[in-house]
C-alpha cells in the first residue's frame, strides 16, 4: 500500500546517501594518508604500507564492507519501538480538501459529476510507482476514468496558488490539452502527511494503446528504459504477458514480444500525420498551452502521445515519394501484374509488383500535456549543473531548462513531429469493424472486412464517452 511504497522509497534514499558518504569519506581518508606520507618526517614506512593497503582493491573491499555493515545497523534501528506506533491509531486519519471551492468550479467546467466521482473510488487498482523519474505512486479507479497521483508539499502548494488561473485558462480555451486536475487533497495517517491530486485519465481503458510517448523536446537520456531481464511485461502488439529476455515470437508481428513501456523523444522516428482540418488547430492549441505553463513559471512538462494502430485496406494504386515537406504521388502502371500470355514478357519492374492486402499504422492519437507542477527550483538548477558541467552532456539537450527556453524548445519539437496533410492526400480505406480472435488463450483484437460500412471512430467506439473528447483522428498515408 501507500505506507510500504513510501518506506521502500525512504530505504532507497537512505542506502544511496550512505553509499555516497562512504565513498567521500574513503577518498578523504586516502588523500589524507597520502598527504601525511609526504609531510611526515618519521614513520614513513608505516604510512606507506597504510596508503598501499587503502589504495589496493583489498582495502577498498574492506572499507565498503564496513560501510555496508553500518548501513544495515541504521536500517534496523531507524524505526521507533513498537509501542510508539500506538500513539497513532488507524482511526486518527485527517483528510483535507485543498481549495474545495476552486476545484468544484473546475469539475463543473469539465463536466465531472460529484456522485460519479465519489462512486468511482469504491474500488481502485493496486497502487504502483509511476514510470517517470519523479518516483511518485499512482492508482486508478475501478472505471479507469480517474487517476490518483502523489505529489510533494511544494507541488501541492504551487497547484493551490495557480488553480484560479488554471480555471480561467480552461474557460478561455475549452479545447486545451493540459491534463485535467479535478482535486487536490492532503491526508495525515499514522502521523505522516501525504499529498495527492485526482486527475482525469487521458486514456480510455477499453481501447488498446499500442505506443505511448513522453515528449519533452530534449534528447539527452531520452530513450525508453528497457525492463530488467526476467521482469514480467505485457507485449504492446498482442497484449500477451511474457518475461523480458525470452525468445517467444509475437503472433502479431515478425520477431519477439516487445514490452509496452513508455517511449521517449529519441524513440519517436515517424511524424504524427493529421488532417488539414485538425492539424493546424492542434499544433496551435499545444503551443498556447505551453505559453500558459511558461507564464506560470512551469517547466519539465511533457506531451503524452498515445498511438492506436489500425489496419487499412490497400485500395490506392499510387505510391508516395517524399520530397521535403511535400508528398508527390506517382501513379503505378498496375498494382497486379498481367496474366501470363503469349508474346514478350512484361518488364520485371511490372511483373515483380504485388499488392498488399492491408497495412498497419497509426490511425488515432491521444494527446495531453502532463506533469505541469514542476517549477525552476534549486533542485532543477543543480540537476542542470551536474549534467552539463560535471557529466559534460549537451546543455541544450538536457531536460532541465528555465521555463522560457524550455517552451521554445518544446515548440520546436512540436513543429518537428507534426505533419499536416494536404487536402489532396490519398488514403487507404480502413477496415470495417473490430473482431476478436482467440490466440493461445489470449484475446487479441484484429480488424476484418466483414462490414463494408464507412469507417467512423465515433461509430467504432460509440459506447465510450471519454473517447469523444480525447482522441484526434489522424490521416494515415500508406508509406508515412
Q: What is the mean pLDDT of the chain?
A: 76
**Lowest-confidence segment of 245-249, 263-267, 383-387 by average pLDDT:** 245-249
**Lowest-confidence segment of 75-84, 271-280, 345-354, 439-448 by average pLDDT:** 439-448
State the pLDDT at residue 172: 95
State the pLDDT at residue 175: 93
Compare 279 and 325 and report the one with higher pLDDT: 279
- Whether the pLDDT of residue 290 is over 80: the answer is yes
Residue 149 C-alpha cell reads as: 497521483
- Whether the pLDDT of residue 439 is over 50: the answer is no
3-state secondary structure of 183: strand
Share of the chain above pLDDT 70, in %: 66
pLDDT confidence bin for 154, thresholds 50/70/90: very high
Compare 174 and 5 and report the one with higher pLDDT: 174
- Whether the pLDDT of residue 455 is over 50: the answer is no
Q: Is the dihedral of CA 340, 344, 345, 348 positive or negative?
A: negative
Question: pTM (2 decimals)?
Answer: 0.66
State the pLDDT at residue 451: 40
State the pLDDT at residue 472: 43
DSSP label at 83? G
Contact 196, 151 (CB under 8 A): yes
pLDDT confidence bin for 350, thresholds 50/70/90: confident
* Nearest in space to 473 (alpha carbons), one of 441, 439, 427: 427
Compare 448 and 11 and report the one with higher pLDDT: 11
- Whether the pLDDT of residue 15 is over 90: the answer is no
State the pLDDT at residue 463: 43
Sequence spans of domains, the chain: 2-79, 94-200, 211-225+261-316+357-473
For domain 94-200, which architecture applies? 2-Layer Sandwich (3.30)
Backbone angles phi, psi at 149, to 5 degrees: -130, 135
- Whether the pLDDT of residue 446 is over 60: the answer is no
Per-residue pLDDT, averaged over 420-437, amounts to 45
**Lowest-confidence segment of 8-22, 160-174, 224-238 by average pLDDT:** 8-22
Compare 3 and 242 and report the one with higher pLDDT: 242
DSSP label at 344? S
Residue 443, beta-bridge partner list: 438
Instruction: Determine the straight-line distance between the first and last CA of the chain, rounded to whole angstroms.
Output: 45
State the pLDDT at residue 319: 54
Residue 38 C-alpha cell reads as: 609526504
- Whether the pLDDT of residue 427 is over 90: the answer is no
Per-residue pLDDT, averaged over 107-135, amounts to 75
DSSP per residue over 275-308, as a string? -TTTHHHHHHHHHHHHHHHHHTTB-S-EEEEEEE
**Phi-psi label, residue 371: left if phi above 0, alpha if psi -120 to 50, beta otherwise:** left
- Whether the pLDDT of residue 462 is over 50: the answer is no
- Whether the pLDDT of residue 237 is over 70: the answer is yes
State the pLDDT at residue 435: 37
Query: What is the rounded radius of gyration, in angstroms, for the C-alpha atoms of the chain?
Result: 29
State the pLDDT at residue 461: 41
- Whether the pLDDT of residue 165 is over 60: the answer is yes
Contact 358, 311 (CB under 8 A): yes
State the pLDDT at residue 219: 94
Burial group, residue 401, by CB count within 10 angstroms (0-12, 13-18, 19+): buried
Distance, CA of 40 to CA of 36 (rounded, Å) = 6
Contact 133, 264 (CB under 8 A): no
Query: Could you report the per-residue pLDDT of 168-187, keeping only the tens digit for each?
Result: 999 999 999 999 999 999 98
pLDDT confidence bin for 112, thresholds 50/70/90: very high
Share of the chain above pLDDT 90, in %: 35
Per-residue pLDDT, averaged over 294-317, amounts to 87
pLDDT confidence bin for 346, thresholds 50/70/90: confident
- Whether the pLDDT of residue 444 is over 50: the answer is no
Compare 152 and 60 and report the one with higher pLDDT: 152
For the chain, how many helices (H) and strands (E)?
12, 20
Homologous superfamily, domain 211-225+261-316+357-473: 2-Layer Sandwich (3.30.810.10)
* Nearest in space to 267 (alpha carbons), one of 256, 276, 259, 275: 259
Distance (Å) of CA 223 to CA 203, 215, 220, 267, 324:
22, 11, 8, 6, 26
Query: Could you report the per-residue pLDDT of 61-72, keeping only the tens digit for each?
Result: 555 555 555 444
Amino acid at each position: 500500500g501507500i505506507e510500504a511504497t513510501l518506506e521502500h522509497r525512504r530505504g532507497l534514499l537512505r542506502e544511496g546517501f550512505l553509499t555516497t558518504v562512504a565513498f567521500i569519506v574513503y577518498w578523504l581518508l586516502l588523500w589524507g594518508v597520502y598527504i601525511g606520507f609526504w609531510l611526515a618526517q618519521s614513520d614513513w614506512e608505516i604510512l606507506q604500507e597504510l596508503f598501499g593497503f587503502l589504495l589496493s582493491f583489498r582495502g577498498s573491499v574492506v572499507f565498503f564492507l564496513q560501510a555496508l555493515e553500518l548501513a544495515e545497523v541504521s536500517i534496523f534501528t531507524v524505526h521507533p519501538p513498537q509501542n510508539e506506533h500506538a500513539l497513532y491509531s488507524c482511526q486518527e486519519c485527517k483528510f483535507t480538501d485543498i481549495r474545495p471551492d476552486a476545484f468544484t468550479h473546475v469539475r463543473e467546467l469539465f463536466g465531472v459529476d460529484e456522485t460519479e466521482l465519489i462512486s468511482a473510488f469504491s474500488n481502485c487498482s493496486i497502487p504502483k510507482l509511476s514510470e517517470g523519474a519523479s518516483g511518485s505512486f499512482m492508482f486508478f479507479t475501478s472505471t479507469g476514468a480517474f487517476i490518483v497521483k502523489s505529489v510533494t508539499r511544494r507541488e501541492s502548494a504551487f497547484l493551490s496558488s495557480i488553480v484560479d488561473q488554471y480555471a480561467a485558462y480552461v474557460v478561455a480555451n475549452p479545447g486545451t490539452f493540459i491534463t485535467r486536475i479535478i482535486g487536490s487533497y492532503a491526508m495525515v495517517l499514522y502521523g505522516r502527511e501525504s499529498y495527492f491530486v485526482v486527475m482525469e485519465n487521458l486514456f480510455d481503458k477499453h481501447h488498446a494503446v499500442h505506443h505511448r510517448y513522453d515528449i519533452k523536446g530534449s534528447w539527452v537520456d531520452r530513450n525508453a528504459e528497457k525492463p530488467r531481464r526476467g521482469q514480467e511485461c505485457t507485449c504492446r502488439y498482442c497484449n500477451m504477458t511474457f518475461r523480458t529476455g525470452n525468445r517467444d515470437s509475437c503472433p502479431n508481428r515478425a520477431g519477439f514480444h516487445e514490452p509496452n513501456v513508455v517511449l521517449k523523444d529519441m524513440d519517436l522516428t515517424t511524424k504524427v500525420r493529421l488532417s488539414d482540418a485538425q492539424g493546424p488547430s492542434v499544433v496551435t492549441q499545444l503551443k498556447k498551452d505551453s505559453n500558459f505553463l511558461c507564464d506560470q513559471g512551469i517547466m519539465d512538462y511533457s506531451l503524452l502521445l498515445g498511438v492506436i494502430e489500425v489496419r487499412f485496406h490497400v485500395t490506392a494504386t499510387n505510391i508516395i515519394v517524399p520530397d521535403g515537406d511535400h508528398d508527390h504521388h506517382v501513379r503505378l502502371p498496375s498494382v497486379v501484374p498481367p496474366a501470363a500470355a503469349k508474346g514478350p514478357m512484361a518488364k520485371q519492374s511490372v511483373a515483380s509488383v504485388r499488392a498488399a492486402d492491408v497495412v498497419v499504422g497509426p490511425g488515432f492519437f491521444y494527446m495531453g500535456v502532463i506533469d505541469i507542477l514542476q517549477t525552476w527550483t534549486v533542485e532543477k538548477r543543480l540537476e542542470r549543473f551536474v549534467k552539463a558541467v560535471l557529466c559534460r552532456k549537451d546543455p541544450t539537450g538536457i531536460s532541465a531548462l528555465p521555463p522560457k527556453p524550455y517552451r521554445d524548445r518544446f515548440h520546436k519539437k512540436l513543429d518537428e513531429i507534426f505533419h499536416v496533410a494536404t487536402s489532396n492526400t490519398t488514403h487507404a480505406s480502413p477496415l470495417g469493424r473490430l473482431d476478436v480472435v482467440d490466440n493461445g488463450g489470449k484475446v487479441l483484437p484484429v480488424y476484418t472486412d466483414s462490414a463494408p460500412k464507412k469507417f467512423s471512430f465515433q461509430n467504432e467506439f460509440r459506447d465510450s464517452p471519454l473517447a469523444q473528447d480525447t482522441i484526434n483522428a489522424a490521416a494515415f498515408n500508406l508509406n508515412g
